[in-house]
Amino acid sequence: MAQQTFRPQHSHAQGEDGANRGAPPSPSPSSTMSTIAKGAENMASSAVDAVGQAWDSTRSGVELAASSVGDAAGNAWDETRMFLRRYPLATLGGGFVLGFLVATAMGHGPSTRNGSH
| Closest by Cα among 41, 24, 43, 25 to 33 | 41
- Listed in sequence order, the residues at least 6 apart from 12 whose beta carbon sits closer than 8 Å to its beta carbon are 20, 21, 22, 23
Beta bridge partners of 20: 14
Q: Where does the pLDDT of residue 19 fall: very low under 50, low under 70, confident under 90, or very high at 90 and above?
A: low
14, 20 Cβ separation under 8 angstroms:
yes
Predicted confidence (pLDDT) at residue 14 exceeds the cutoff of 70: no
pLDDT tens digits for 30-87? 778 788 888 888 888 888 888 889 998 999 999 999 999 999 999 999 999 999 999 9
pTM for this entry: 0.40
Q: Residue 109 pLDDT > 90, yes or no?
A: no
pLDDT reported for residue 85: 94
Q: Give tens-digit pLDDT for 88-102.
A: 999 999 999 999 999
